[in-house]
Structure 1
Amino acid sequence: MSNRESVCFLPEMETVVLPLDVEIKEEELEIGANIILTSVRPSWNSKEILFKVFTDGITNKLIGCSIKENPSDVVLVRVYGKNSDLLIDREAEKENFKLLHKAGFAPRLYATFKNGLAYEFVPGNVINVDTVKAPTIYPLIASMMAKIHTVHRDMNASPCLWYKIEKQLKLIPSVYTSKNKQLIFEETFPNGIEFLWKEFVLLKSILSKENSPIVFCHNDLLLANIIHQGNKITFIDYEYASCNYQAYDIGNHFAEFSGVTEMDYSLFPGEDFQRSWLRIYLEEYYNITSPSRVVSEEDVSTLYQQVNRFVLASHLYWATWALVQGQHSSIDFDFIRYGAERMKEYEIRKRKVL
């Protein structure tokens, strides 16, 4: 593993996590979850366990497990998507999980197994395209992101962004094994992979000069990864977390306002909303890192410009990710067209911010 990839690896945490020598088949989630539960919840009667399969994710398989006597105690068992380890550092994910739990920002990780994790369920409501802009909710999200960004501070850290995009570009197949997928790729990416490489070089040359702080980032704050309960916000799923540009994490979150399965880019937040969000974020961020500093209008304007430029990097990242997933994932999702939609929006926004 290269130093660049591991620069953000986090130290061993105190939380005890059970390492289980088990592998679960995607098509046998309940059987596999039962095996995990014999270690994680040994007192549960296997005949009384209730299962709920979650179908929203486009990377992994997820199943919730509980019993009638104590319905609030829900164990989530996540099985990694096929070949997802090509794109995700699973060891780093485990350490990130434990670090954030110790900091009070993440649920408990109960166990790891060969191709997945078992962890605590977070009760609450999943954020949607309406609630993400609600006046009582978005300030909580902005503040939580600022807190996450100060969890693991390393002034010598390198951003993961460029390494990961380059890695994904190299993993895009020259020809898809599925003839139908190859036809879709040729239809939606008429200029081929060369166009993506060209944009990667351009973005890296421009955004590397933005002087955005390198912080510990979630890197995947789509709406389904944000849970709201009362006055508390919890970010879930840390498989993409790593050190990265501050402005990227925020810009990526704003890009996700448009949704995933049915994207509507008219929902991208406008300038007034963004500036309000960014001021709240900076107030929390400076309160932790520089308590005597007062947020100025210039601070907000600088971050606003950086964030909207890094939105481009978000689109390029997830487009290249999707093209790799299109070859390897067993999940029923049109990854190639998703990638094409991200690049279509990339072109529109590029004309506005570069």
Structure 2
Amino acid sequence: MVTPVYCILSGSAVHCVSVDAFSSKEPEKLARNPEVDVHKDTPVPLNSLSPALLNIKNRNLLFTLNNPSLSDLELENYNTSDRRTSNALSSEEEKPASAVSLPRSKLIQPDDLSTNDTEEFKNGTTRSRLRINLETHASDDEEQTNNLQSILDEYKTHAVYLPQFSVDIRNNLDSDYTQIKLLLAKIFPAWSSDDTINIKRLTGGITNMLLSCTHEPTNETLLMRVYGQGTNLIIDRHREFVSHLVLNSLHLAPPVHARFANGLIYGFLEGRSLDPEELANPFLYPLIAQQLGHWHSKVDCDSIEDGIEKLRKYTARMKHQLLPSLRPVTPVSSKQKREKGAKKAISNIWDLIEDWILVVPANDALVKIFNENLPDQEVNIDNVRDVIYKEFRWMKSTLNNDTKSPVVVSHCDLLSGNIIVPETSEFKQRIESGANVALKPLLENPIQFIDYEYMLPAPRAFDIANHFAEWQGFNCDRSAIPEPTPLNPVIVKWCQAYLDDANALEEEINGLINEIAYYYGMPGFYWGIWSMIQSELSTIDFNYAEYSGLRFEEYWVWKAKYLRRKV
């Protein structure tokens, strides 16, 4: 089994520390108490995550998706019949030294625990800090508990990752969420697994669900999201998890408490999500713009990328060390390796789109979309991906050459449902009045963004244009999208708020508007491809193929305008 791991964020860096580093040989609890053993109740065989077992339409498509987070799924190609269990491992295999990467604690600990080191700051001051010896176990359980508690209290942003624990939604619905209650009780020892935990389904069906989990004695509420089947194949869950941790450390997201094989447990935000028509509300849109500008200036790309790389290496190393007997069932020839191509990490929005193009289903619906909009080309099933890739290269080259939009950590899915506002009567009255008031300081901005599945480094203009595209809602009423021109007072005020400067120079405002206008076609291209992939994967009752055509239409409209301006 892959050992549960604490992911701790310190000094803008993510560190992966095996739970065994703090636990006794027979652990029982997690997080606030270092005793843990989730495997005993709900072990998940490695091959149970096989794409062939998922409830999706086109299973063959799964094997071609080039997502580096699919390491669990890829194990289905290996023979696991003779793998050793964790009980058969030697003590050295249980907790390899190379698997632990926790930095020295910044806490000043009692002298008898360890020798202290010093940490020097740029201003010349120093602070003592403890060098934690992770290769030894305390003999006293209470000392273990106190040691872990002090570490986790110091590193306020931390979560436990349980890669082998999977939530079975159907069985939980039939058993009053018994498995989920046991999991919550392990992560939060103050919670018991009896009737003191109240669980409600907020959204979703049996394949994609958001649950509200309340501990009645303390009235503490958390959210549990169980991923939709097949969504891991186009969403990098390592990236989502690390992004959430980094955002929480910057007070831009609720705490994330735990990650398991098919979901997350994280903090509950008071408030409600917006409706699409509210995005244009004169009182709300400056607040949204100001908060997005803060995101773009505050979140560091390198911190997230470094954390993702550490987590990938950690999980890969643990699999190789704990399951050394895994071998391919069928040898793979060098020719097959070349044809398949090496998997690459997705590090920005361009990489992701290019990756999606490689796997978008070449079906009649997609061929029709491109034949209707490229009358000078003969598009068919055999060449449609090549045609899309050529169009993508033109778009990418055009945008990179004509604009120098700064690359920032972007939300990439800032639709109305991912924006949370207060539910107070005062705030409600301000929304209803639509008052166009002066922008207040950022610290007084109550807007919060949620759902970080699609976060990636991207040009800021894409993230902004993508948000404006969401003003149309799922009905794709493009008349609701604001025209990106300096003559549009809505766009001008939005950009002033984004820059957090009501007195921003006209030249700066106009430059930002022009930058955004260039990217007005890219969201349609992006979501058009995504929708067509979903048409083959998702079992949700929604016409993704039709939606793909509507979103691609945004791209064709933008391209036509662009080419006319160039004439």
TM-score (norm: length of structure 2): 0.53
Query: Contact 1:33–1:77 at 8 Å: present in 2 too?
Result: no
Aligned counterpart, 1:145: 292
Residue 127 (str. 1) matches residue 274 (str. 2): yes
- Mark the CA change 1:223 to 1:340 in structure 2 (over 3 Å): closer, same or farther: same
1:1-354 equivalences under 5 Å are 11-12=13-14, 14=155, 15-20=157-162, 21-28=164-171, 30=173, 31=177, 32-42=179-189, 43-55=191-203, 60-67=208-215, 73-153=220-300, 160-175=348-363, 184-185=365-366, 188=369, 190=371, 191=379, 192-209=384-401, 210-229=403-422, 230=427, 231-260=445-474, 262-270=475-483, 271-283=488-500, 295-354=504-563
- CA drift at 1:187: 5.3
- CA drift at 1:283: 2.9
Identity %: 31
The 3-state SS of whatever aligns with 1:146 is helix
Aligned counterpart, 2:20: none
Name the structure with the higher helix share.
Answer: 1
The 3-state SS of whatever aligns with 1:295 is coil
Aligned equivalents of 1:112 and 1:163: distance in 2? 26
Deviations for 1:130-170, whole angstroms, at most 9, x for unmatched residues?
A: 32122221111111111111223459x99712111110011
Moved more, 218-227 or 331-340: 331-340
Aligned equivalents of 1:53 and 1:245: distance in 2? 36
- CA drift at 1:247: 0.5
- CA drift at 1:113: 0.2
- Mark the CA change 1:65 to 1:184 in structure 2 (over 3 Å): closer, same or farther: farther
Query: Contact 2:247–2:299 at 8 Å: present in 1 too?
Result: no
Aligned equivalents of 1:274 and 1:68: distance in 2? 46
Query: Contact 1:189–1:340 at 8 Å: present in 2 too?
Result: no
Aligned equivalents of 2:450 and 2:391: distance in 1? 31
For 2:493, give the aligned amino acid. Answer: S
Query: Contact 1:106–1:235 at 8 Å: present in 2 too?
Result: yes
Deviations for 1:192-235, whole angstroms, at most 9, x for unmatched residues?
A: 44443232121111111210011111111111000011550110
Query: Contact 1:11–1:95 at 8 Å: present in 2 too?
Result: no
- CA drift at 1:56: 6.7
The 3-state SS of whatever aligns with 1:202 is helix
For 1:273, give the aligned amino acid. Answer: V
Aligned equivalents of 2:519 and 2:511: distance in 1? 12
Query: Contact 1:218–1:240 at 8 Å: present in 2 too?
Result: yes
Aligned equivalents of 2:202 and 2:540: distance in 1? 13
Moved more, 146-155 or 336-345: 146-155
Q: CA RMSD in A?
A: 2.8
Equivalent pairs counted in the alignment come to 327
Unaligned runs of 5+ in 1: 1-9, 176-182, 288-293
TM-score (norm: length of structure 1): 0.82
Aligned equivalents of 2:204 and 2:558: distance in 1? 27
Aligned equivalents of 2:272 and 2:460: distance in 1? 26
Deviations for 1:3-37, whole angstroms, at most 9, x for unmatched residues?
A: xxxxxxx7317322122331123534543533432
The 3-state SS of whatever aligns with 1:257 is helix
Query: Stretches of 4+ moved more than 4 A in 1?
Result: 67-71, 183-192
Query: Contact 2:203–2:209 at 8 Å: present in 1 too?
Result: yes
Unaligned runs of 5+ in 2: 1-11, 16-154, 306-345, 372-378, 428-444
The 3-state SS of whatever aligns with 1:62 is strand
Aligned equivalents of 1:49 and 1:332: distance in 2? 32
